[in-house]
A and B are shown apart, each in its own frame.
Chain A
């Protein structure tokens, strides 16, 4: 069976840059919302840009919630990016309160304008890897810079779920998390030049195992 990564399509965000990067690394990807294509993939990416509530509604409409839950049972690598990371958490406070996928315990909360200069955070910020042995950060120097665009951030209940921490203004937040079959980043590795490319390479290598 040919190796491929499934990128979950729920009509939120720019998927092109992810497919192009995977192609650049010599691997195949499929943009899909088809359960069979998702289950047969070697690894799955949950992307996303936009509002939390809308995104959950789209996942529900497209019957994707049960599919994402099954990835955990199958122990299939799942990579959540930006909003795709936030969706994995229990709940979000973006425009009211919304339930998330609850695969990682914790909530998604807004930046407090008293503690940061500007919202959204847009640009390059560094990530302190507090778990140096994780496969996702292999061959990437600690405190490398990655590209962020967000107004909300995740607050995991369990400190052991955190791989990387980023400081914005007076706030320190979790920028890389992992749990069971899941890894997830708040930043966009596909927009983070060589270190982001390396992160995708690490994910693909892990999916090949």
Chain B
């Protein structure tokens, strides 16, 4: 009897189809995002995230169609991110049936989109996605305008810098401060991706997740680095995350969501099973 921690599979989509190969499913159309979403719902996923990585100009229409088809078959919350810039974009995505939108580059460039979006649609549907990368320093004096964390077991310090444009462009912005600002503007959740750990499969950046949890009061979704169930367990126990996002460990059939949830529960982490 308590709020559970959430396990969230993330699907990279382009033109309505999942980009990364899905090897274990015998679906008629193995790359169809809706079918995969439905499959994860049945497996026990707590939410879904669709990240549209298309760069073409006609993407909006295809994305809207995907959101509509998903809302016909998937009855868990789902978030849509990628290229959402304006309040009008947010409205279109939500109207099509998404529960939340995730804002990244657009929110950094124009933080007001968070405020406006939250005011009109409610904080619960505005997720701010932050791509954060470590910057190591030897003493806190080196970066007085940043929120600095002393690294555990090391005589070293670091802060995290916000990157935009899918991790290509550094902004000079402090990630923790940006998280606090996003929360104050009305964002209801933070989707926090460690650029240092993303794709490495050696675990989440637990210090980053923990620092966000300590400084912010909205839920934190840890992202980037999950290679096995132990990493997800650590995101909850050591990183204090409210939710863990993962992609490849589920897509390639290495582990099912059910297996991961059972292992988490054994460690005393509240799970919906």
Contact = CB atoms under 8 A, between A and B. Distances in A.
Q: Which of A49, A51, A143, A196 has the most CB of B within 10 A?
A: A49
Nearest to A149: B124
B6 A193 contact: no
Interface string A114-132: 0000111111111010000
A125 B99 contact: no
B161 interface: no
Interface-central residue, A14, A121, A190, A197, by most chain B CB under 10 Å: A14
Nearest to B45: A193
A193 B4 CA distance: 15
Interface string B1-24: 111111000000000000000000
B140 interface: no
B97 A21 contact: no
Nearest to B218: A118
Interface residues on B, range: 20 to 34
B242 A123 contact: yes
Contacts of A51: 122
Counting from the closest, the 6 A-B pairs by CB-CB distance are: A145-B272, A16-B97, A124-B272, A149-B124, A167-B1, A124-B4
Contact of A20 (B3, B72, B94, B243): B72
B76 A147 contact: yes
Contacts of A143: 1
B75 A190 contact: yes
Interface string B205-249: 000000000000111000000000000000000000011000000
B72 to A, nearest CB: 5
A124 B6 contact: yes
10 contacts: A14-B94, A14-B125, A16-B71, A16-B95, A17-B75, A49-B125, A119-B217, A123-B243, A149-B188, A192-B75
A112 to B, nearest CB: 13
B174 interface: no
B189 interface: yes
Interface of A: 14, 16-17, 20-21, 23-24, 49-51, 113, 118-126, 128, 143, 145, 147-149, 166-168, 188, 190-194, 196-197
A195 B76 CA distance: 11
A118 B242 contact: yes
Given A145-B272, A149-B124, A120 B75 contact: no
A123 B3 contact: yes
Contact of A125 (B4, B96, B123): B4
A20 B217 CA distance: 33
Interface of B: 1-6, 41, 46, 68, 71-73, 75-77, 94-97, 99, 121-125, 188-189, 217-219, 242-243, 272
Contact of B99 (A14, A119, A168): A14
Contacts of B121: 49-50
Contacts of B217: 113, 118-119
A193 B123 contact: no
B1 A191 contact: no
Contacts of B96: 16
A11 to B, nearest CB: 11
A122 B124 contact: yes
Given A16-B96, A49-B124, A122-B124, A196 B75 contact: yes
Nearest to B77: A191
Contacts of B99: 14, 17, 191
